[in-house]
Structure formats: C-alpha cells, structure tokens
Amino acid sequence: MISSIFLGCVEDSTVNTKTTINTDSVNGYDISTANNAFAFDMYSLIKNGDENIFFSPYSIFTTMAICYDGAEGSTKEQLSDACYYPLNKSVLEESSKEMVDTINSNSDYYSLETANALWVRNDYPLNKKFVNNSETYYGGKITNVDFRNEPEESQEIINEWIATKTNGKIRDLISDDMINPEWTDMIITNTLYFKGNWLIEFDVDDTQKEPFYNSSSSEEGTLVDMMYVWKYFSYGENKDAKVVELPYKGRDLSMYIVLPEKNNIEDFENKFTLSDYNELKSTMEPGQDVRIWLPKYTFETKTKLSDPLIEMGVVDAFDVENADFSGIFDSQKMPRGYSLKIDDVVHQTFIEVNETGTEAAAATAEDMAYSKPPGEVFDFKADHPFMFFIEDKRTGCILFMGKIEKPEYGEMS
C-alpha cells in the first residue's frame, strides 16, 4: 500500500480531541488511537456503495504527518483537527518515530515494513529543520529529481522505488498527469508492506465453491472460493455483529473480521464507529470453539483523497491563497509571495487473502501543489459483506482496513 502527497506552487467518542491536540507529553498522546480514529473518519468518506474497500489509515496518517511537520497557522490547525495530531509537533515526531521503529523491528515470522521518501525538485531550498525532522523521526529519504526537465524520468524513479518497497504489488502510483513540470516541487511518499502466514492455516482441501450474498445479490448468491477451518479462536458478538480474530504467526499482528448480522452492510457501516469496534472487541474471549467460513479474495484499489480530506476539514492546505507550509522551505531563498500547497493525495493498495495467509501493500503519495456458555461451538460464516482490520497488536494500530462486498480471487496483473 502506498500513499503520496504532491506539493506545488468526524469526530469519535473514543478520542478526547481537546486532550489529544493540546497534550505536550509523548506519554499523554496515544498515536494508535489517533490513527484509528482517523481510520474510521476516512472510511466513512471513501466507502462507495457495494464496492470493496481497502486502504491503509497508517500510510495516509503518516504521509500527512510529514507534511504537517512543515505546516503553520490555520493549515496546521486544520490538519491537527482532522488527523488528531498534537499541536506540539515534537510529540507527534517522537510518537511517529517509535511507531516506525516498532513496525520495522523485523521478525522471523512475517514481513512488515514501512518506508518514507521525499522527492524534491533540483535546487529546491528545503528548511534544514524540516529535513532533519523528516530523516530523524520518519526515516524519510530525501532525493532530488528533475521535475522541470525530466518529468518522465522522475516519475519512473519514484514508481520504481514504490514497486521495490511493496514487493512489486504497487506499480504506477505516479501517473503521467501527476507531475507538472512547471508547478511540482515535491512529492512525499509512504509505503507499507505486509506478508504473513496464519497461525492456524486453512486446509486447501476444505476450500470449495459456496454462495456469497452481497448487498444486492439474488437469493442464490454468487459462488466464491470459500475457505473453512474449525479450531479455537478469540471470538465475540453482540446483537449487531460477530467478530473473530485470525492471528498471524508470531502473534504480533492479527486480522479481525467483523460480520454484521444482516446481508446489507450499509446501515451497519454508516453507524459503526471506533467506539463500537472497540466495544465489540471487548466481548471477545480466547479459546472459543469456532467454525469459520471465509472467502478467498484479492483486489487492488487506487483512490484520490483530496476531496475526503477537504471534507474532513483540511481546506487551507489545498488552497494556494491560504496554504502555509512555510516550515518546509527556506523562505529567505524563495521569491516573495511564494506559496506551497497540496495539489493531490493519491492512495493505492493491494491485498490477497488465501488459505496460507495475507499479503497486503499500500502506498500514499502526497503531491504539494462481546460471551456464551463453555462447550458451545460458534459458527462464523462470512457469506455476506463484512469489514476487516489488520492490526499491529504491539501498538493497537490499525494498519489496514477494508470491506468485502464482492470476494473475487485470481491472479493479479
């Protein structure tokens, strides 16, 4: 998964916004809760009827955080409100570094890596403090590229870096029309790649064609490749939905599947908040005897996030007259009246879920211009639309989030 920002010339009861924004202590700021609140806010704005959804809130949250590090004035305040960033930037910087270090701490059981990079036009005078913060707290590698004279080569360089960091799963994030030789000064990119095997795998021999009833399907449903396993899992439920945890080997990460009671997921997802998600998870008890049916699926997405971010309140950052990213560049070396704004934010993802485990990737580019009696067997049959979350259990951070309406499985290009 990848996120990018291009630069050129819903609040949730789980989060105490005032406390979060105004904290001056790293211990007083829960970056995972902020990220997760942002995840649900973003989901509410990008859900698209009966289409599959998949995105990495962490990738977007982090890309925007790098940009936030150079924001001032109302631009900074709006980003803080929308993304739950503390107004004290040093708190976000230290918290982000700890998160990056945890994600990139390596494991013999799975692959998980995030990377940040800043692609800056030749001779662009960056603010030294911004450079230091990007490198120190985000591991942001800064590379000069010739946007002005060689936009195609610049595009190729950035896309190749993204493809390498995502094991070839994210390609061509930067499209032909995203680099404007006259206006593009910087592109900020984040990648997040994960590949892990289930702690309890599904037996391939148990996979068979079974009907899946999406929100608009007929009574017969659509035949899909349905995996099956009967083991002990952490499981919970309430009157609205069931939840089961599928841990990956190493136990640092898990997929949580939230299955609404009704086939039509729209009413559920419109009301399902981070508080509801946490409350549903609180009903879970380990070691429950569960039979699970889960479809195999693989798909890709590519989403423009400028409009959702503006709807979340990030307005000035996209306005050439009001954007204030003066902390990014050396103002003494720029002509009078120079202004830097976000031109576009693009997010691309890939996910594959099968009997063995999960492979997921994301990239963002920001261009500036609940329990029952023991002994009972629980059935968790995901034969209708469901939401899913891949969490880093060490931090509680939602790395990936999505919805399955149409489970399809096959070779991706």
- Give the pLDDT confidence of 48-75 residue by residue, as tens digits: 888 999 999 999 999 999 999 999 999 9
CA of residue 319 relative to chain centroid, distance: 25
**CA-to-CA dists, residue 83 to 106, 107, 185, 366, 408, angstroms:** 28, 30, 24, 15, 33
- pLDDT, residue 18, reads 62
pLDDT at 50: 85
CA within 13 Å, CB half, 340 = 30
CA dihedral sign of residues 50, 361, 236, 102: negative
3-state DSSP call for residue 147? Answer: coil
Predicted confidence at residue 16, as pLDDT, reads 66
pLDDT at 2: 43
The tens digit of pLDDT for each residue in 208-241 reads 999 999 887 666 789 999 999 999 999 999 999 9
Average pLDDT, the chain: 92
Pick the CATH number of 2-404 from 3.20.20.80, 3.90.1170.50, 3.40.630.30, 3.30.497.10: 3.30.497.10
Please identify every stretch of the chain with a pLDDT value under 50, giving residue numbers as ranges.
1-6, 8-13, 370-373, 412-413
Tokens 């700021």 belong to 29
Domains of the chain: which residue ranges? 2-404
Token pair recorded at residue 248: 């990956």
Angle of helix 128-138 versus helix 89-103 axis, rounded to 10: 40
pTM for the whole structure: 0.93
Give residues with Cβ within 8 angstroms of 374, minimum separation 6.
none
